[in-house]
Structure 1
């Protein structure tokens, strides 16, 4: 009886993913550079999209950055996961076209949702920034891992390929950030930037689709016909919604969404709105008319600095609608008004719609007030008016002790500094700003509504400061002529109100956090 050894048969090899063809190196680099750059364009312009509804604060800026980073993270993860399970080649073009559609649809989504989420609560800020950034940024961020997967034909060059494409993507983001911040935002509206980005993505996606079709041996466009039809329909719907979406801006400047509204109760009255918030009121026929209470307090302070009819050398930090410079020019002939306004677009708007007329004694310099102030001669001004805001917040670098020291340097002996501040209960910012101004000026007073001082409401507050004793009785008499109740705090009452508040410095000025109501 014979025996034999059974034949050993090797198990069948496990089927791996289908082989993929690498893209030309130049095309791969372009796709990574372009898609990464588009993400940063969207991130940069998103702040302008949401600003009219939730403001432009540190919290809003942080939310935009955080949402964009989350979209990049999820997009990279999802793109890598898909690339290991499917051939990335037929996915690249649809991803770009979908990104184009998502980018275009961002405009109507944000503008419709913004009207419902207006106000700036933390949840509203996060939701609106997510609607503005997340989906298109995630789709675009999936493109890099898809491209990387296609280029990994030689495992010995994995590090080189991944490192090179990662570097190219970073360069794309840097280029887009600088181009958007320095060029696009200064010359184009946010609507134009978003739509141009969507068109560019669509053109590149369709061009890539055609290119891959030519390389396809079967002569077919990658992807099923129903996918192409669906993308076309989505694109048309997105374009239609964009054309009818409400736009809160008459014009977009480099810093603001601005509009001018006529006052139905006063034929010559005009209200300037910046990011949908009331900013200035101007009476075209009567520049001596002061509508807002805080401007009346400014007027009262000016009346005790220089009686009506006496000229004054005034410097204004922030122009807006130029209400106070107009008032001083009208009530004090010969007054020299110099206004620092960072937004040249507002100057143009005021000239076009608010009858702003400048000249040798009413000059406007466009630029950052902190930077321009350093070039001003010492002891050259009788009055400095601080009324600069980013949305409803005093820019932090204009609220520090170092800034107050520069203002004191520019004032003549006995000159007066008046500053507008907006704060809300528990009033941490106004207390800190009072402590900051008092660190440089020996004599300080505060004008505010009684209910605001009691912590029952938010409002404007006006700080009055000088290196000489303030004419408090005269100022109190001026304030007493106003119709709305107002208090003037000084001395021990003011010290009790300020308590041990933080002095803000260039090294530490958490203005946005102090303004938070929570």
Structure 2
């Protein structure tokens, strides 16, 4: 009767389970950032990455258990780590090249890109735990304690990796370097384990011919090289965005701010009064109808700081506060988009909802909500409770404007209009005629106030811009909103509404 394989030292077994489980969670979190520039960061994208990762864990654990019963687990641990390193290394080129083909938010593209980002390495690394468990079960009377201990250490490894990646790694280095560093760490761990197993003796030889092992090593090195050389959609990777700044070939002082591969803001370094996009021109038209002189303005979302700079240029002496979640984006604006802050234009880095709650009642003449991006809507900024807090800080004669992007059949903009109308008695919306008729996706600018809106003057001004805007108010707006449901903190399915 063959002797069972010798158990690993308890510390080594714990380290293998802890490390492999942690590596899977690092990959899962980084995968969300890798796919974001191509398909957005929506609930569907997050669900796809989590679901694919869980599927990989389930199938990898099942396969690892089957292999542990058929072969000497000691002979499989090193290949699992090395193959995991190779799978991790090829993740970057798979996502970077595949993402160029799979851009957009269609469900099949999202699922496929999520699978390219996480399935292969997570599947391989998940096989490590059952291999280690099998090695440690030398005494059936201790099965419960062994399985419980290793299972708990795997969970602790996942928790540690989740917190370390979210709080430290992502803020410290680009996602590509996290992936490459993880691949190197796995390869070194596999090599160190191979050395220890060979030194301790009593293990089966590693499977595969030298030529096969050399080919796999080459694949890993080529994958890592392609990952570094693959097209990177980011000039700067902040904690929340993949960001680029591009010079406008038609205007030497013009700059485009690209966030997650979507054109987000346009800044003219020499002319802060220049408003490039139609929706920002409409917001500028609303700002221009405010009583003359300086204003107190609150901006929810900074982006390229186009509107704060416009208000500073057109209304000298105004006091402005910008609530921007992404401190890295603010640094990029200072470096490449000419942002200068001071007593008249202050920036507070943090969540807009928390920032609004800290503001005094009735303290602003002009509030601009521009924190929604392409397929990326922070749901907690779209609810009635948020709108009520904005109404609280807006003076009775002040105006709130909110930029919303939606697509046919326009379910989100209708719901958001109903939501804002639950907090403000006077509401209107501006967009193109085609967008209001449900023919195209576009920007919609919601205008709201506690006092009657100067709709005639706003309509006159938005009709004079390059892309003519149309304003709906009164009965026309009521007909447009229809029976749309008000969004609340308890019910705000913004991703589903955007998906149509």
Structure 1 window deviating more from structure 2 (277-286 vs 484-493): it is 484-493
Matched, 1:196 2:181: yes
Q: Show the counterpart of 2:410.
A: 427
Counterpart pick for 1:287 among 249, 272, 280: 272
State the distance in 2 between where 1:448 and 1:461 align: 5
The answer to whether residue 4 in structure 2 is matched with residue 28 in structure 1 is no
Deviation at 1:394, TM superposition (A): 2.7
Confirm or deny: 8 A CA contact 1:37 1:176 kept in the other structure: yes
Superposed CA deviations along residues 258-311 of structure 1, whole A, max 9, x for unmatched, are: 00011111111100000110000000010000000000000110011234xx11
Q: Which residue in 2 is equivalent to 1:147?
A: 132
| Residues 487, 25 of structure 1: alpha-carbon distance in 2 compared, 3 angstrom cutoff | same
Cα distance in 1 for partners of 2:273, 2:198 equals: 70
Which of 317, 331, 335 matches 1:352? 335
Kindly indicate whether residue 357 of structure 2 is the aligned counterpart of residue 374 of structure 1. yes
Q: Distance in 2 between matches of 1:504 and 1:454?
A: 23
Aligned to 2:214: 229
Residue-pair matches, total: 500
CA distance in 2, matches of 1:427, 1:343: 28
Can you list the C-alpha shifts for 1:425-475, whole angstroms capped at 9, x where unaligned?
A: 110000000000000100000001110111100000000000110011111
Is 1:503 paired with 2:486? yes
Residue 267 of structure 1 aligns to a residue whose secondary structure is strand
TM-score by length of 1: 0.95
Counting only pairs closer than 5 Å after superposition, residues 153-232 of structure 1 correspond to structure 2 as: 153-216=138-201, 224-232=209-217
Residue in 2 that maps onto 1:322: 305
Partners of 2:333 and 2:435 lie apart in 1 by 32
Contact 1:401 1:436 in 2 (8 A): yes
Alpha-carbon distance in structure 1 between the residues aligned to 2:17 and 2:99: 32
Partner residue, 1:70:
55
Change (3 A) 1:482 1:217: closer
TM-score between the two structures when normalised by the length of structure 2: 0.98
Question: Secondary structure of the residue that 2:13 maps to in structure 1?
Answer: helix
In 1, Cα distance between equivalents of 2:217 and 2:284: 60
Q: For 2:396, what is the secondary structure of its paired residue?
A: strand
Aligned residue in 1 for 2:472: 489
2:286–2:458: 8 Å Cα contact kept in structure 1? yes
Q: Which runs of 5+ in 1 are unaligned?
A: 1-14
1:228 is displaced (CA, Å) by 2.9
> Which one is further off, 281-290 or 227-236?
227-236
2:289 paired residue number: 304
Contact preservation (8 Å) 2:180, 2:224: no
**Equivalent position to 1:394, from 360, 374, 377:** 377
Q: In 2, distance between residues paired with 1:171 and 1:103?
A: 21
